[in-house]
């Protein structure tokens, strides 16, 4: 820790013993100064240092005994119903895809102009207005 940082901590109310302990912890002095500016006392900072140095203690996870999942019996009627649903959904999907292609091709050939096109009569009237 630099002398300047030690002086800053001293002016914030930290005692020399507290500064030695902070210096021994190896934590960046700038972080400690920021904590001191925020109003943390020396005891609070020491407590934070202790918490940071302790290894993370997580409670061991309880494992439930593994129960193998039950396999439902496959019924031929169920398979037929599923196959019919799959066929119906694929048919609907194909119909939707053809509809999308048709709509896209229709939109590709549309005129996306401004829509404010003047008729020939309006153009003649405008040209005659400028003559007056």
127 occurs within a structural domain? no
Residue 16 has pLDDT above 70, yes or no: yes
* Percent of the chain residues past pLDDT 90, beyond the cut: 19
Beta-carbon neighbour count of residue 19 at 10 Å? 20
Identify the burial level of 22 via C-beta atoms within 10 angstroms of its C-beta, where 0-12 means exposed, 13-18 middle and 19 or more buried.
buried
Query: Domain of 17?
Result: 3-53
> What whole-number distance in Å separates Cα of residue 4 and Cα of residue 104?
71
Tally of domains within the chain: 1
pLDDT tens for 75-132 read: 556 788 999 999 999 999 999 999 999 999 988 887 776 667 888 999 898 888 887 6
111 occurs within a structural domain? no
- Confidence label for 25 from pLDDT (cuts 50, 70 and 90): confident
92 occurs within a structural domain? no
Mean of pLDDT values over 27-49: 79
C-beta of residue 60 within 8 angstroms of C-beta of residue 33: no
Residue 67 has pLDDT above 70, yes or no: no
Q: Could you give phi then psi for residue 60, rounded to 5 degrees? A: -65, 140
Closest to 5 (Cα-Cα) out of 18, 19, 21? 19
106 occurs within a structural domain? no
79 occurs within a structural domain? no
């Amino acid at each position: 820790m630099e002398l300047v940082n030690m002086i800053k901590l001293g002016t914030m109310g930290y005692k020399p013993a507290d500064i030695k302990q902070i210096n021994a912890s190896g934590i960046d002095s700038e972080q400690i100064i920021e904590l001191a500016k925020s109003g943390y006392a020396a005891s609070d900072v020491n407590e934070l240092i202790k918490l940071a140095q302790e290894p993370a203690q997580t409670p061991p996870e309880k494992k439930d005994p593994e129960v193998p999942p039950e396999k439902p019996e496959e019924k031929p009627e169920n398979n037929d119903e599923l196959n019919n649903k799959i066929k119906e959904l694929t048919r609907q999907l194909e119909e939707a895809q053809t509809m999308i292609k048709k709509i896209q091709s229709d939109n590709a050939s549309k005129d996306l102009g401004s829509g404010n096109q003047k008729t020939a009569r309006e153009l003649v009237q405008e040209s005659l207005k400028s003559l007056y």
